[in-house]
Chain A
Amino acid sequence: MTNLRDDPILEAYLTETTQLVEQLEEIILVCEEAKSFSEEMIHEIFRIMHTIKGSSSMMHFTNIATLAHALEDLFSFMRENPQQVFEWSTLSDLMLEGVDLTKLELYKIKNGDEPDGDMSDLIGRVKLILESLEQGGIPSVSPSSLAQYYRAHIFFTEDCGMENVRAFQIIHQLKEQVEEYRHIPENILDQSAADTIQQQGFQLWIKTDKLYDEVYSLLSNTSYLKQVELVIVNSMADQVADDDDAETEPRSEDKQAQVKQQPSRDKESLPSTSRHQGKTINVNVHKLDELMDLVGELVIAEAMVTQNTDLIGLELEQFQKASRHLQKITKEIQDKVMEIRMVPLVMTFQRMQRVVRDMSKELGKDVQLKMVGEHTEVDKNIIEHISDPIMHLVRNAVDHGIETVQERAAAGKPETAVLTLEAQNIGGEVLIMVKDDGRGLDKVRILQKAKENGLLHKPEADMTDKDIYNLIFLPGFSTKEAITEYSGRGVGMDVVVQNIAAVGGTVAVDSLAGEGTTFTIKIPLTLAIIDGMNVRVGESKYTIPTTSIDQSFRPNERDIITDPNGNEMIMVRGNCYPIIRLHERYRVETEITRIVDGILIMVEQDGNRTCLFVDELLGQQQVVVKALPTYIRSFHSIEGISGCTLLGDGEISLILDVQGLLNMK
């Protein structure tokens, strides 16, 4: 097969078709939730299948094209016969099967393999359904039984009189046209039947292959009719409706709902992806990456000009004005480019719908997925890395966390469990939470498992509940007895942690027994360019991210305390904070060794604070974060240093990582 890189047409086909298939899946899930396929949705599905058929035939992917063709025919028929009735759940299962098969073929093509999947079984079933529809029957799982059962509850007007005769008339009309029928009251020739019918209505069960509308009109074709309630039921033995139902309008829904002309309420539920198609353009991510790099270089070059050593001591007013203007514009370009790379999380969250649906069906649980803040945007690079961890957490929640319907009922909880995916932008970070209202984490079992695997690093008595819950992130941990298809192998959680750490984020968990569990993923918004404070220690320069800095000050001798172990601390407004001597920590030579000669910078991460002792502050600056060279990192990662950057004068400054410094203690 041709190499993907070389063939732009193939790449375009894959991008477009993958997008369409995802859209299709979304539509199907929406229809499933609404328990019907509205006219608008049918149009949309037809359109998608038509496009896929066309482009797949052009690319000679015949099996995909044939499947698309079969589905296109089916939906074309449905489009032209909107009053046709069919089972939505069989249809959606069928469609999802088609979606999965197509996705598999696309995946094969992407990897350079032949798309050789055999779709003939599915295509056969689709054609069968189409045939039975064309013959006017109502297709069901077993196409052989086309008959349908109805239950009618008929009420006559008060001044009707001789209701039993009316009822007899109805029966008489129906007799020739239906396969079977029965009614209550059974003996309508009896005078007392008239009273029964007057008060309780006439109940009729019919077996026929006629359509709903036909049956309805047959029944309505009677005089003195006050009300006809017609529903589709499972069998002739279906029970009597409650008295309450007699008050309602003739309903048309039951287990197997029908398709009717749905009003434009579906306008809102049309998947978000198709709505945005108007004003967007697809851009290759590589180009965006290159653009980002260039903008980074621009920031450095701009600093090299405006902070050039040649300018020290010179009074250049016009120059200063111009360089401030340059700085402003550079910052704007930077912000814009960052914005372009931001992608809303909604697509990632939507993908979870399918996962939740399939898993709940399979495990016999009832789970509803809720999304909050799904339009929060995140850098494109990050999206790729968090998709898998989120999927894993969702799977875990449905598999382990959420109880079966019976368990929930027994515990007095609503049968439908709620799994919430929430995203928020706070400070310079994105928070993504996976919350479930399931059974929560089992503290006792976690502790036990950790002990068994020798994973306890703190004495048991010192561990808070949160500490215990966070043990599950350690490698080799799993309290699930049996390894299911979905989880339990003990490799999941720490892979989640690693994937998230790869984008500079953290993950934590909290739980309440019996009420649920919440996983919180925190990811820094921008990896590449940060606001930093440059400081000097001896000949070395360091940069501290300003978001971590609380304050900086020149200490007083009397506020400095040394404890018996030699650890230095400083008192600030009644609180005591440890001091980290950077020159000692990193073995830098400097003349300033007395704390009162230098500056203390109070830094904070996750509520923990410490003070860094440096020689002097050099100034605030926007810096481009560059990773330390691979060679350096191949030895080991340096705790407390997260990268480096080039300063305006060409010198290199090491970027400090506050969490790392705190850990070093």
Chain B
Amino acid sequence: MTETLQKDIEAYEEDSQKDKYLTFMLDDECYGLEIRYVTEIIGIQKITTVPEMPDFVRGIINLRGKIIPVMDVRLRFKKPFQPYMDRTCIIVVDIHELCIGLIVDRVSEVITIPESQVVAPPDVQKRGNRFVMGIGKVGQEVKLLLDCEKLLNDHEIEQLHSNS
């Protein structure tokens, strides 16, 4: 019996985080991540390189004693690399026990985009589109909403070959 009560509470909590997205910028494009996966946002810090990894995996960092990997989202989306500056942030996400830091140019804000304002993405062809699960409309602007799980789990074989 306690189990169903537990599930109700979780569902309620999820609901309060549903439709909320953390948005960040890469060049002029605005992307959104579901807030329920985001644990914290930190400034850029020293990264220890790990050899033999795809180019978008920059290495690992020490987050208060915990070692987590960091990924450069620009490189993941096959955009040209940009050196890190003061404004560069790391968004720490935690999905199903997998913890990873996403390096982005800068972080914008947390906004609510109701389901009605989200449409399906166009053809899955061009770079970056693989990870987009929907397009959110906020006023006149458009935010590309990312599929976190795909971002973390989709290991393209070609990327590995290019590094061997």
- A636 and B67 form a contact (CB under 8 A): no
| Interface membership of A574, Cβ < 8 A | no
Tell me how far the C-beta of B66 lies from the nearest C-beta in chain A, rounded to whole angstroms. Answer: 9
A53 to B83, CA, bound (A): 73
Contact mask B63-85 → A, CB, 8 Å, 1/0? 00101110000000000000000
| Interface membership of A588, Cβ < 8 A | yes
Interface magnitude class on chain A = 20 to 34
A632 to B20, CA, bound (A): 29
Contact mask A643-663 → B, CB, 8 Å, 1/0? 010100011111000000000
The stretch from A108-116, A458-466, A622-630 touching chain B is A622-630
- B50 and A631 form a contact (CB under 8 A): no
B61 to chain A: which residues have CB within 8 Å?
652
- A638 and B52 form a contact (CB under 8 A): yes
| Interface membership of B100, Cβ < 8 A | yes
B126 to chain A: which residues have CB within 8 Å?
none
- B67 and A629 form a contact (CB under 8 A): yes
- B48 and A540 form a contact (CB under 8 A): yes
- A632 and B48 form a contact (CB under 8 A): no
A644 to B97, CA, bound (A): 19
Tell me how far the C-beta of A108 lies from the nearest C-beta in chain B, rounded to whole angstroms. Answer: 23
B48 to chain A: which residues have CB within 8 Å?
540-541, 644, 651-654
| Interface membership of A361, Cβ < 8 A | no
A652 to B133, CA, bound (A): 35
A654 to B69, CA, bound (A): 13
Tell me how far the C-beta of B137 lies from the nearest C-beta in chain A, rounded to whole angstroms. Answer: 32
| Interface membership of A586, Cβ < 8 A | yes
A630 to chain B: which residues have CB within 8 Å?
97-98
A628 to chain B: which residues have CB within 8 Å?
50, 60, 67
| Interface membership of B139, Cβ < 8 A | no
- B49 and A644 form a contact (CB under 8 A): no
Contacts A651-B62, A652-B61 known; A646 to B67 CB distance under 8 Å? yes
- B67 and A586 form a contact (CB under 8 A): no
A629 to B57, CA, bound (A): 12
Interface magnitude class on chain B = 20 to 34
| Interface membership of B46, Cβ < 8 A | yes
Interface core residue of B61, B62, B100 (most chain A CB under 10 Å)? B62
A641 to chain B: which residues have CB within 8 Å?
50-51
Residue of A nearest to B100 (CB): A631
| Interface membership of B99, Cβ < 8 A | yes
Tell me how far the C-beta of B110 lies from the nearest C-beta in chain A, rounded to whole angstroms. Answer: 25
B62 to chain A: which residues have CB within 8 Å?
646, 650-652
A588 to chain B: which residues have CB within 8 Å?
49, 51
- A297 and B65 form a contact (CB under 8 A): yes
| Interface membership of B119, Cβ < 8 A | no
A297 to B67, CA, bound (A): 13
A646 to B62, CA, bound (A): 8
- A644 and B67 form a contact (CB under 8 A): yes
Choose one: A297, A632, A634; the contact of B50 (CB below 8 Å). A632
| Interface membership of A553, Cβ < 8 A | no
A540 to B98, CA, bound (A): 25
Contacts A652-B60, A652-B61, A652-B62 known; A631 to B69 CB distance under 8 Å? yes
**Which residue numbers of A lie inside 8 Å of B, CB to CB?**
297, 300, 540-541, 585-588, 626, 628-632, 634-636, 638, 641, 644, 646, 650-654
For this complex, 29 residue pairs linking A to B, each with C-beta atoms less than 8 Å apart, are: A297-B65, A540-B49, A586-B51, A586-B52, A588-B51, A626-B67, A629-B60, A629-B67, A629-B99, A630-B97, A631-B57, A631-B99, A631-B152, A632-B50, A632-B60, A635-B53, A635-B54, A635-B160, A636-B52, A636-B160, A638-B52, A641-B51, A644-B48, A646-B67, A651-B46, A651-B62, A652-B60, A654-B48, A654-B50
Add 4 more A-B contacts to A631-B57, A631-B152, A638-B52 (CB < 8 A): A632-B57, A632-B69, A636-B160, A650-B62
